[in-house]
Structure 1
Amino acid sequence: MKGQQQLKKSKVVKIDSRKSWEHHITNATNKGYPVMVHFSAYWCMPSIAMNHFFQQLASTYQNVLFLNVDVDEVKEVASKLEIKAIPTFCLMNGGAPVDKIVGANPDELRKRINCFIHQKHSPKSV
């Protein structure tokens, strides 16, 4: 029972196919939500170490879709977005990448997403 509750709490969607990727990116784009993607691998210790922090970010930013892509499971997506190292975090808007953070750097990740969210929601100066 506890495990089921934990699963429900997760705000990060695990992508397991190109079709799943396209579905979630299209939905987020149609709703105007930015997307933060964690490109990871089950064997990469820095990726695993970032999972908990990534979950925390997902709980903090309700209007951002958080996705996790294992580069070995969904090679097409990783290749298309030119992911060369893991972990890589990719911030997307309108279905296109707008920022990329390579490496396990929680402070930089939080800073970049904060900047993007504030930029997006701040009034445009004339």
Structure 2
Amino acid sequence: MEGQEQHKSRVVKIDSVESWDSYFNQANQGCPIVVHFAASWCIPSAAMNPFFEELALTFQDALFLVVDVDDVKEVATRMEIKAMPTFLLMKERTVVDKLVGANP
């Protein structure tokens, strides 16, 4: 790895309802949020991680979150997530776009 610059991930892993609520409230202040609802056992979810990381680096003014539906079931239920991966674009606490499936 010598000579290669280490990039710190801009994707925040949500591990509790409290952390979800905290970031969700940031969206209320005009910051767009992109959320990847994933599952560790879901191969297509895992396959999308590098693309999601790349998007996070490209769009610095948005907040990128990943939610493992098994770790934080309540959030997945609240957002009516039925399949993995599901991507939501949220602005002002509202879902403005939704993409279901692994399609970079």
TM-score (norm 1): 0.76
**1:8-35 CA distance string (max 9 Å, x none):** 61000000001000101112322x1110
Q: Distance in 2 between matches of 1:39 and 1:95?
A: 16
The structure with the largest alpha-carbon Rg is 1
Q: Distance in 2 between matches of 1:94 and 1:28?
A: 5
Q: Distance in 1 between matches of 2:26 and 2:101?
A: 28
1 or 2, which has the higher strand percentage?
2
Instruction: Tell me what 1:21 maps to.
Output: 20
- Tell me the C-alpha RMSD between the 2 structures: 1.5
Instruction: Tell me what 1:38 maps to.
Output: 36
Q: Which of 47, 50, 60 matches 1:49?
A: 47
Q: Which of 88, 96, 104 matches 1:90?
A: 88
Q: Distance in 2 between matches of 1:75 and 1:67?
A: 15
Whose RCO is larger (CA < 8 A, sep 6+)? 2
Q: Distance in 1 between matches of 2:53 and 2:28?
A: 21
- Report runs of 4+ in structure 1 exceeding 2 Å deviation: none
Q: Which runs of 5+ in 1 are unaligned?
A: 107-126
Q: How many residues align?
A: 101
Q: Distance in 2 between matches of 1:84 and 1:27?
A: 25
1:68 Cα offset (Å): 0.1
1:53 Cα offset (Å): 0.6
Q: Distance in 2 between matches of 1:11 and 1:102?
A: 22
Q: Distance in 2 between matches of 1:28 and 1:52?
A: 24
**What are the equivalent positions in structure 2 for 1:43-122 lying under 5 Å apart?**
43-106=41-104
Instruction: Tell me what 2:10 maps to.
Output: 11
